[in-house]
Structure 1
C-alpha cells in the first residue's frame, strides 16, 4: 500500500485530475454539470497574469539582446517556423486525401447569403491604441507593440533600470502563475468531468467523419511529426520532450485554451534546459520572446482547422482538387494570421462552398478544440526548442537516432492516413445519405388528416366558395391546398406521409381550430381558379406573394422571406458566380415554376436571358439537359440538392433578390383572411414559425434530446417486467 501511495505522489496531478474527471463524467453523467462554472472560474484565474506576462516577457527578452543577436535569432526563428509550416501543411494535405466517397447534400443556412467576411489585418496587427488592444485582448497587436518597444530599448544605454524593474514584475507574475498551477488540477477535474458528463451522443455522431479526420491528423502531429523532428535534430530525447510538455498539454486539452498556458510553456522550456545542464541566459531570453510570438503567428494546431474547410467542400460535393491546393494554401496562411473564426468563413467563401459550413464548424468547435489546443502547445514547444538549438548551431543529423526518428515518422504517416481512411469509410457507409434524412422527416404534432390526390366532384358545384371560421368549425374540417413535390414546404416522405414546413403549420392551424384537416393538390397556374371556386379554403405551399396574383386572390401577411437562387449541376455553378457572368453570356436558358413577374422584368433588361415555365419542380430534374439552371429559392434548392446530390445551389453575387411567401385565400373570404393574419402573429410571437423554420428549412431540432447516458443510470435502472 505504501508503494502505491508513493507511486501516486510521484505522478503528475494534472494527469490524475484528467483521468478522474473523465471517469466521474462517465459514471454520473449530467449530474456533474454543476462543475462547469468551477472549471470556468479556474480558466479565468489562469488568465490573470497572461497579458502582463506577454508585455513583460517580450520587452525584457528583446531589450536584453544586442542588435546583432536579435537579427540572428529572429532570422533563424523565422526559418524554423517556415520549415514547420511547410512540413505541417504537407501532412495536412496528405490527410485530406483520406476522405471517402460521399453522397453530398445539406440543408440551407443563412450563412449562404451572408456577405463574405473581410479580414482587416490593420485592425488585428497595428496597435493604433496599445491600451485599447490590451483592454480588448487583441494579442497580435499587443505582441507587435511589445516587439517594437523591446526592440527600441536594445540600443538604449539607460535601459537597465527599466528592464530590471520589469524583470522583477515578471518574477512576481511567475510566482503567481506557479501558485495557480499548484491548485489547477481542481479546475482540470471540474472541466473534464462536466464535459464528459454532458457531451451527448448526438454531438459525437454529428460530423463524425471530420472528428476522426482531425483526431488522426492531430495525433500524428502531436505524437509523431513534431516531437520526432525535435528528437531527430536536437539533443532532446523523445521521452523527455513528452514529459516536459505534459502539464501544458493536459491543461490545453482540458480547457481548449492555449493562451492561459503560455507561462507554463515558457517555464517548462527553461526548467528542462536547467535540468539537462543546457540552460544559459540567451536560451531563457529566446524562450521568453518566441513563446508569445509563436502563439500570435499561425501554428500547426490552428492550421489543423484547415481540415474542416476540406471536409466542408467534400460534404457539399465539391471536394478541393489538386489544382486548388496552391490557392487554398496561400489564402490559409494569410487568413490564419487573423482569428480562426474570421479565417474559416473567408476560406469557405473563397472556395464557393454553398452550405451552412461555418455553423457546422461552430457546432464541433468544443470537440475540435480538444485537438487544436494541445497540438498548438506541442508546436510552440517544438518551435522554441528547435530555434534555441539552431541559434547554438546544435542542429544536426549525424546520429543514428536522427535517421531512426525521421524514418519512423515517414512510416507512421501512411499508417495514420490508412487508419483515418478506413474509419471514415466505415462511418460514411453507416451514416444516413442526405436524401434519407429529409425523406424521413415527420410532423411531430398532427390532427386527423385526409390527403387527397384530386379535387372531389362534390366540390365542383361552387357551394363552398364562401368560407369563414364559423363554417369551417361547423363542418369540422379545414381544406388546405398544397403543391405536390414542393420540397421542403409540401412533399411526401418515405412513409408516403404529406409533410413539410407549410403542412406542419396547417396541422397546427387545424389543431387551434379544433377541426380535422383535408389536403387537396393543385398546380401553380390553378391557384386562383381553385381558391375562388371554393375547392379549398387556404393554399399553403411556399407560395410567392407577387403583384400579378394580388389581383386574383388575397394573400396573408408574409410567413417567410426567401432568397432567390439558381440550382444547376455542380460543374455548371461557376458560370453563375457573379451577376455579370450571367449577363455577359450570349444566351442562357433558365427554367422556373414561379416568379413570373420578377423574371419578366429580367428578360426586358437582359434579352440574352430566357425563361421557360415548368408545371412542377420535379420536371426540371427529368429535363435538366435542356436548361442551364433552375430559378428557385435557396431554401428549396438546398432541399432538392439532398435528393439530387449532383446538383448544387448558388446565389450570384450582386444579384441577390428576396421575395415573400405566404398563404393564399379567395378574394371574398375576408373574415378568414383576418383570422389567418392574427393567427400568424400569434405563431410568430410564440416561436412556432421559428421552430418550423429551424426544422424544415435548416434541418435543426429534429430529434428529441435524450438524457445523457451514465454508468450510474445503467446500474440503477430497473429491468422492464
Structure 2
C-alpha cells in the first residue's frame, strides 16, 4: 500500500512549508525531484520550459498563462513602491545634515559618471547594426501624437497619494526624500524610524513570499512572450540581444569591478566571489528586489573588512559599524529609485526599433534622444519605452516586441548589470563619503582601458553579422503571398473597356446578379496583384464580401490613378462617367469638387499623411515646420485634384510638386534622386516601404488626416444607400476591422481548415 509522508521543503534558506508526497506514486517522481532542487535551478528550468511550451503550443492554448504571468508580475510589483519610500525615509532620517550632504553629493557624482558611461554605450550600439534593410507593416500608433514629457508633473507631486497610485516613482522619491530630510531636524525621531524599519521588513517579507512562486511565474511569462515572436524575426532580434547583452556583460563583469577596485581596496576577485550567489539569483528571476537584502549585507561586510584594514588601530567595532551601516542603508534604496545602468542600457531598444522598421535615428537626433531617454528613465520601464518610441516617431506598438525580448533574454542581463551598478554605487558612494575620492588616478587606468573594449566589441559584432546570410524580408514575402482573410475564391479581372448596362443602378445590378468594380492597379495594400498574379487587397476583399452577401457575381476593372491622354486606360472619374463600372471600390481621399460629377459613399476610413524619403537628409525633419524650412524641396504627388493640391501646398508652401501616373513611378523617381520625397497616406506608404525597404516612412507632426470614401456614378443613390447600410453591419460585427488589419497591419489570420 502506498505510504504518504510529509516533506518540508527548504529553498534559498527559506522554509516554503510542508508538501505531502505519496512515495508509492511513481508518476510524482519528477515533481519530487523538482521540489528538492534549489530555487535558482527551479527558475532556470521554468525559463527553459516556458520557452519550449511557447514555441510548440498554439496561441489559444496559452491564453490562460497570460493572466497567470500578469498576476505574478503585479504581485511582485505590489510592495515595491511602499518599500522604496519607507526605506528612504528611514535611511535619510537617521543622518545628520552634514553627513547627508557629503554622502548624497559625492554619490551623485559617482552616479552621473555611471550614467555618462552607459549613455556612451547606447550611442555605440547602432554602429553594430548590419546593413539589412527592412520595414514593417503599418502600425496604428504612427498616427498617435507623442505625449509631451512634463518633468514638473513627473518629479513634483501635488498629491503624494496620487503619485503612489499612479506609480510616479520620481515624485514618490522626492516626497520620501523631503520627509526623510525633515525628520533629521525632529527630536526623538528614532521610535518613528524604527516603525518604518519594521514596515520595510514586512514589505520585504511579501516579496520573499511571492518569490517562492517565481518558477511558475517565469514559466507563464516566457511561454506567452516566446509565442509572440515569429521565427522570421529571430535573426534580427539576435542582433539586439547580442549587442545589448554583450555590453551588459562587459559593464557588469569587467568595467564596474575594475572601478570598484580602483577606488576602494576591495580586489576584483573577492568582489565577484562575494556577490556570485545574489547575482545568479537576480539573473534567473530578472528581479533585483528579491536579492536587495543580500546585496546590502554583503556590501556592509566588504566595507567592514576594507575599513578595518584601512583605519588606525583602536577604532571600536561598533564605531566601524556605525560608519558603514548608515550610508549603505541610505544609498541602497536610492540606487533602486534613480535610473541604474541596466535601465539606461535598455534605451538601446529605440535605435534598434528604428533600424528594424527602416526609420533609423540620425546622428543629429542622438543628443536629444539620450537626454530625453535619461529623463524618461525615471518612469516605469514600459511607460518610458512607449513614450520614447512616440517621441522618436516610431510605432509605439513595438513596445510589445520590447516586452517579449526583454522577458526572454535582455531583462536578465539588464538585471545583472543593474545589480552590479547598485553594488558599485553603494560601495563607492560609501567609501568616498568616508575617505574622499582617490588622489592618485593610476588605479583607475585599468577601468579606463576597459572602455576601449566596447567599440571593439561593437565593430567586431557588426563584422560578424555582415558575414551571415541576410535574413529574408518576411514582411515583403507576406505581402506578396497573402490571401483573403474572409472571402473565398478569386477576384475576376475584366479585360477591355466594355461599358456596363445602366452603371450604378441597383435594380439593374439585381437583375443581372452581377456587379463590376473599378480599382487602382498597384495600390498596395488596397488592390494589387500578388506573386501569383491574383488581384488581392483590402478593397478587393470588401467587394468580394459585399457581392457574396448580396447574391451577386463580382468582377473588377483596373484603372489608373491619374488620367493620361496617350493611355486608353481611364482614371476613376473617367471610368465612372464612361460607365465602365458600377462602383469605384478604391479607398481614395475625398476631393470635394468631384462631388459635382460623382457620388461619394460615407467616409469609412481616415488616412494619415506621410512622406516616403530616401537617405538621412530629411529623416530628422519630424515636424511640418521643419519641412517648410527646406528650400527647393521636390515632392511627388499621386493625385491632381485642385482642392487637394491647394491643401498640400498650404502645408509645404516652399515645395515644388510633381504629379505622375502612380506611386510606383514616383518612387522610381525618388530612388533615382529626381525627387526628395513622395507624399502618401501612412497606411499605404507603409506597404510601399515593405516593398522598398531602403526608403523611410516619415509621419510629420502635427498629424494631418484625410477622409477616404468610395465613388459611384452620379445617379447611384440606391446603390450608395445599400453599400453604406451594409458597411455599418460590417463595422458592428468586426468584419471591416478584420479585413483592414489583415491587409494594412499585416495581421495574419488562421483560417478554419474544416
Pairwise same-fold verdict (TM > 0.5): yes
Query: Mean Cα displacement is larger for which, 441-450 or 478-487?
Result: 441-450
How far did residue 694 of structure 1 move? 1.9
Number of the residue aligned with 1:713: none
C-alpha separation between the residues in 1 aligned to 2:192 and 2:742? Answer: 60
Give the direction of change, closer, same or farther, for the CA distance of 1:702–1:243 in structure 2 (3 Å limit): farther
Which of residues 485, 497, 506 in structure 2 aligns to 1:444? 485
C-alpha separation between the residues in 2 aligned to 1:617 and 1:38? Answer: 48
Aligned partners of 1:447 and 1:510 also within 8 Å: no
Question: RMSD value over aligned CA atoms?
Answer: 4.0
Which of residues 500, 503, 516 in structure 1 aligns to 2:537? 500
* 3-state DSSP of counterpart to 2:128: coil
1:106-185 equivalence runs, <5 A:
106-156=136-186, 158=187, 161-171=188-198, 173-174=200-201, 177-178=204-205, 181=208, 183-185=209-211
* 3-state DSSP of counterpart to 1:103: coil
Number of the residue aligned with 1:641: 689
Give the direction of change, closer, same or farther, for the CA distance of 1:256–1:564 in structure 2 (3 Å limit): same
Number of the residue aligned with 1:669: 716
Number of the residue aligned with 2:547: 510
C-alpha separation between the residues in 2 aligned to 1:203 and 1:44? Answer: 23
Aligned partners of 1:38 and 1:187 also within 8 Å: no
Aligned partners of 1:33 and 1:194 also within 8 Å: no
Number of the residue aligned with 2:414: 372
Give the direction of change, closer, same or farther, for the CA distance of 1:401–1:607 in structure 2 (3 Å limit): closer
C-alpha separation between the residues in 2 aligned to 1:705 and 1:397? Answer: 71
Give the direction of change, closer, same or farther, for the CA distance of 1:387–1:14 in structure 2 (3 Å limit): farther
Number of the residue aligned with 1:614: 660
C-alpha separation between the residues in 2 aligned to 1:250 and 1:605? Answer: 56
C-alpha separation between the residues in 2 aligned to 1:506 and 1:28? Answer: 40
Residue 290 (str. 1) matches residue 331 (str. 2):
yes
Aligned partners of 2:386 and 2:396 also within 8 Å: no
* 3-state DSSP of counterpart to 1:449: coil
Residue 549 (str. 1) matches residue 594 (str. 2):
yes
Number of the residue aligned with 2:428: 386
For residues 42-67 of structure 1, the C-alpha deviation after alignment (integer angstroms, 9 at most, x for no partner) is: 55555554444333322232222222
**More contact order relative to length (CA 8 Å, sep ≥ 6):** 1
Aligned partners of 1:105 and 1:642 also within 8 Å: yes
Number of the residue aligned with 1:683: 730
For residues 207-265 of structure 1, the C-alpha deviation after alignment (integer angstroms, 9 at most, x for no partner) is: 51333333333333333333443355444455664566567656655665556665564
Which of residues 25, 36, 61 in structure 1 aligns to 2:91? 61
1:512-531 equivalence runs, <5 A:
512-524=549-561, 525=563, 526-531=571-576
For residues 562-613 of structure 1, the C-alpha deviation after alignment (integer angstroms, 9 at most, x for no partner) is: 1223333334525965444555666655332225322235558987555443
1:100-499 equivalence runs, <5 A:
100-156=130-186, 158=187, 161-171=188-198, 173-174=200-201, 177-178=204-205, 181=208, 183-200=209-226, 202-203=228-229, 205=231, 206=233, 208=237, 209-231=239-261, 233-236=263-266, 238=268, 241-242=271-272, 245=275, 249=279, 253=283, 256-258=286-288, 262=292, 265-267=295-297, 269-270=299-300, 280-320=321-361, 324-341=365-382, 343-344=384-385, 347-348=388-389, 351=392, 360-361=401-402, 364=405, 366-367=407-408, 368-393=410-435, 409=450, 413=454, 416-417=457-458, 420-421=461-462, 424-425=465-466, 429-432=470-473, 435-452=476-493, 454-456=495-497, 459-460=498-499, 462-465=500-503, 467-468=505-506, 472=509, 475-499=512-536
Number of the residue aligned with 1:568: 613
How far did residue 436 of structure 1 move? 3.8
Give the direction of change, closer, same or farther, for the CA distance of 1:165–1:325 in structure 2 (3 Å limit): same
> Which consecutive residues of structure 2, in runs of 5 or more, have no partner in the other structure?
1-7, 14-35, 309-319, 564-570
Aligned partners of 2:634 and 2:676 also within 8 Å: yes
Give the direction of change, closer, same or farther, for the CA distance of 1:578–1:392 in structure 2 (3 Å limit): closer
How far did residue 80 of structure 1 move? 1.4
> Which consecutive residues of structure 1, in runs of 5 or more, have no partner in the other structure?
707-721
C-alpha separation between the residues in 2 aligned to 1:627 and 1:232? Answer: 57
Give the direction of change, closer, same or farther, for the CA distance of 1:704–1:448 in structure 2 (3 Å limit): closer
C-alpha separation between the residues in 1 aligned to 2:601 and 2:9? Answer: 77
Give the direction of change, closer, same or farther, for the CA distance of 1:275–1:39 in structure 2 (3 Å limit): farther
**TM-score, normalised to structure 2's length?**
0.80
How far did residue 109 of structure 1 move? 2.6
How far did residue 424 of structure 1 move? 4.3
C-alpha separation between the residues in 1 aligned to 2:501 and 2:576? Answer: 12
C-alpha separation between the residues in 1 aligned to 2:489 and 2:9? Answer: 71
Aligned residues: 691
How far did residue 404 of structure 1 move? 7.3
